């Protein structure tokens, strides 16, 4: 089964809606729960301080967006999924690291999984 980014975005939004319903229920039972407890912990889980988010942060970021008043758009989540699933190659920080030979694998074994045995 192959999952498209549009399908996965819909799934993430649906899960976030269910989680938002739970947060709304907690808010009704204990006013102030959302701003005092839920949103600060979601910001930690979403790794909001990171300038470049990772794929693992995306579900928390979607749920955090659901806590606001702006409707969440499937296109925005899909764009985030596509951007995060196709990462740009990392650039070397200094020139010597870029020209250094790759370190051999532990035990001297070949770990190239692209070749058929």
List C-alpha distances in Å: 60 to 23, 26, 36, 116.
13, 18, 17, 38
Which of 24-33, 74-83, 97-106 has the lowest average pLDDT?
97-106
Domain boundaries, the chain: 5-87
| Cβ partners under 8 Å of residue 67, min gap 6 | 20, 23, 34, 38, 39, 42
Which whole-number Å values give the CA distances from 13 to 16, 36, 85, 106, in the listed order?
5, 23, 17, 42
Of the two residues 102 and 84, the one the predictor is more confident about is 84
Interval 86-108: pLDDT, tens: 866 655 555 555 555 555 545 44
The pLDDT assigned to 94 comes to 52
* 68, pLDDT greater than 50: yes
């Amino acid at each position: 089964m192959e999952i498209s980014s549009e399908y996965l975005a819909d799934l993430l939004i649906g899960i976030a809606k269910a989680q938002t319903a739970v947060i709304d229920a907690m808010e009704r039972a204990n006013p102030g729960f959302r701003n005092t407890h839920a949103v600060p912990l979601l910001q930690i889980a979403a790794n909001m301080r990171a300038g470049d988010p990772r794929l693992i942060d995306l579900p928390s970021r979607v749920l955090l967006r659901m806590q606001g008043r702006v409707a969440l758009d499937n296109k925005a989540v899909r764009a985030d999924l596509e951007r995060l699933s196709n990462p740009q190659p990392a650039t070397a920080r200094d020139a010597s690291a870029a020209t250094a030979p790759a370190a051999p694998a532990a035990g001297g074994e070949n770990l190239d999984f692209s070749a058929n045995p």
